[in-house]
Amino acid sequence: MNKKPPHLRAVPGSKSTLKDKPQLEPEPKVIALDDLPVLEEEIDYFHGMALEFRMAQSMTDMSVAGSELGKIQGLFEDALSQLERVGVLLDAVSEMGPNQKQRAQIERHRAKLAETQAIVNGTLTRIRDDIKSSMSMPAANASPSGSLSSLELRSAGGNVQLPSMGGLDMQRAVIQPPTNAIAGGIRRNELSTTRISAESATEEFARLMRDRDFNSMEDMQAFLAKISAFRNSKIVAERLDSGHDDDPELTRRMQNAIAPYVKDFPEIAKIVEASNALLTKAEQAQCIMYDAWGARGAERVRLAREALKKDKKCVDAHVLLGQESAKTIEEAHDLFLKADELGEKAISGQTIGPDQWWADLKTRPLLRAKMELGSTLWLLGEREDALDYLREVLRLNPMDNQGARYRLVYFLISEKLFDEAKELTNQFAADGASTWKYAKALLDFNLYKNSLRAKQSMRDAIAFNDFAPRYFLGYEGVPEEMPAYVGFGTPGEAVECAALGIDHWRTTDGAIEWMRTCADEISSLNKQQAFKLWKTSNESAKRYANDDKFSKAKGQFLYALKHAEKLGDELLISIALKDLCEVLANHLSEIKKADEPYFVRSLELAQQTVGVDDPRYIGPLFDYGCFKFAMSLHNDAEKYLTDAMSLAEKLNDDEALPAIYWLLGEVYDAKGEFAKSRRFKALAQELYEDE
């Protein structure tokens, strides 16, 4: 801890400890022209992510739970901040006397940077609109169209249309088990729940709107707002009754949004009840299945069986039971086959366009059945039939909202149908998921062996998700339970990537060793580059911190932390975390709830590396106390600050004590314990004067 004091730049006698956020200014020239490829890599990463989201925004059948929207918004805000930083670095590089070739590179980077920033800004606008609409209010600028498709999820209960960061594909549907999963039933992925919730909401809105006339678009919007609020009221009740609300702030906002419509609920309840009374047995069964897909554990199976009591021909019920209750592959196969047969009979004699199978909610269960049947046939060794089913799914749903291509491409590679696999990868060339990149690398290995072309595919895959090799190479086992939510390039996505591909990689002669060689080569290069970037970012961050430029200092420390983690060096990670937490503690108004993991991790690392009796432990304790104070958790703040004070007094650390005393005074002020506040501030004042 510094003498003046280290984290809380408060002048004794003044209650202000908050700093205004500085404007973006040129970054110190701590990089060189040789770093242009590094900047290109950064731009390409965000550009790829932004393009994937732009593609997904055109889809109308993926939703994300409202509680996840804030996290995704934060991700894109961070991306925008990083892009601004890259722009500053490009400006700095352009002033270093680049040659003609380097100038051309800089201009190309600037053009791609501008395009990426535009896409990210557009995505943020969409997310903010969806956050508003998720609070049960229809969009203020909704198109005056009577088409339900344009309203599909605008008011869905607790869910909104949004491309998901999670999963292998932002367009996939319900079932995504690993290729070898059957023990205890095929596992599901929680992301599927949002899609089914979307289907449920769309189906209910369609029913309630049927045969209902409106005098104006405004009347229709008002009706939809009431229906949406009514749906959300049930979600709020479930969250409150559960006793473990995972997002109280979201619940509170939903309650506030619902409040103006509570008076209309008796009327809406009658409308819903009247609509439900007209449901056929088959429709009642499907409504039960929507609840089943959203349920957990044994409740899913119970509801599926309840649906079958309503309608023995319910396709989705057979699909879910095949996933959840089947004890063997054969049993699962029989249930999926039954679902497929029932679905085919249900549409017998109907003409359905090739682009209507996924658009029509009534045919989605059949598509789900076909996809699962194809997967179980593969596991049973009926490989040609498995391929035919997955080909059919893609033919009927050419946009592949279900993610059938991820299974099909690996099946084709295993059957050495490389030409067809190549056509498939070309068809979905814009797919940026890790699974697709690793599948393409395996295909290129089969086609081109250890060529530069194949190596580049492998490097692209590892660069995009460097967590996946630990599963492919056997350093970690693939978990039986798939992650609930995953993002591009994350450990969660690596789990899914390996679950779908590991068997196919291991049964291809030489493929695993080739991946290991490529990974080792990349690791060596990455460590050199990561250390250089850690050092550069750390130096830059300290300059910004000394100049009191908070946002830039935080961004650079986060960048340093990222590269320290790439190196796996606990000392560098500890340094980056310590510096990051200090700069956050210096700017209490800028601290966010999402910053807490940095403080917790910094404290834990200090405990492990220096121990709880070391003077270096005082800083992390104080920092966490600052965080708790910034979050208005005054009792917690008092605890950590008191611990820091006790250790500082025990070690006679007079440099640390003034800031601790002063902030304790602020805490007691906030708690209304003014006598204690005056005492601690007097102690701080005395030590300041001694200095």
By 3-state DSSP, what share of the chain in percent is helix, strand and coil, each rounded to 5? Answer: 70, 0, 30
Residue 333: inside a domain: no
The answer to whether the beta carbons of residues 450 and 489 sit under 8 Å apart is no
Question: Using CA atoms, how far apart are residues 137 and 131, in angstroms rounded to an integer?
Answer: 10
Structure tokens at 40: 């290109």
What confidence score (pLDDT) does residue 168 get? 27
Whether residue 162 contacts residue 63, with contact meaning beta carbons closer than 8 Å, is answered with: yes
Using N-to-C axis directions, what is the helix angle for 511-546 and 452-464, rounded to 10°?
A: 50
Maximum pairwise Cα distance, the chain: 93
Q: How far is CA 338 from CA 59, 196, 331, 397, in A?
A: 30, 21, 11, 21
CB 409 within 8 A of CB 180: no
Give me Rg for the CA atoms of the chain.
28
List the CATH number of the domain containing 551.
1.25.40.10
Whole-model pTM above 0.75?
Answer: no
Grouping H, G, I as helix, E, B as strand and the rest as coil, residue 65 is strand
* Residues in Cβ contact with 10 at an 8 Å cutoff, skipping those fewer than 6 apart: 16, 17, 659, 662, 663, 666
Within a domain: 6: no
Contact 586, 623 (CB under 8 A): no
**Residue 344 included in any domain:** no
420 within a domain of the structure (yes/no): no
Residue 646 forms part of a structural domain = yes
Residues of the chain with pLDDT under 70: 1-35, 47-75, 77-78, 126-198, 201, 242-247, 250, 354, 484-486, 524-530, 533-534, 690-691
Q: Containing domain of residue 652, as a range?
A: 524-690
In a domain, 543, yes or no: yes
Classify residue 494 by burial, with Cβ atoms within 10 Å: 0-12, 13-18, 19+: buried
Angle subtended at Cα 66 by Cα 162 and Cα 275, rounded to the nearest 5 degrees:
90
Evaluate whether residue 334 is within a structural domain: no
Give CA angle at 71 (572, 298), nearest 5°.
110
User: Which DSSP state fits 19?
Assistant: -
- The pair of structure tokens assigned to 467 is 């967590």
Q: What is the pLDDT of residues 226-244, one digit of tens each?
A: 888 887 788 778 777 766 6
Which helix H or strand E contains 105, and what residues bound it? helix 100-134
How many domains is the chain partitioned into structurally?
A: 1
Q: Residue 555 falls within a domain, yes or no?
A: yes
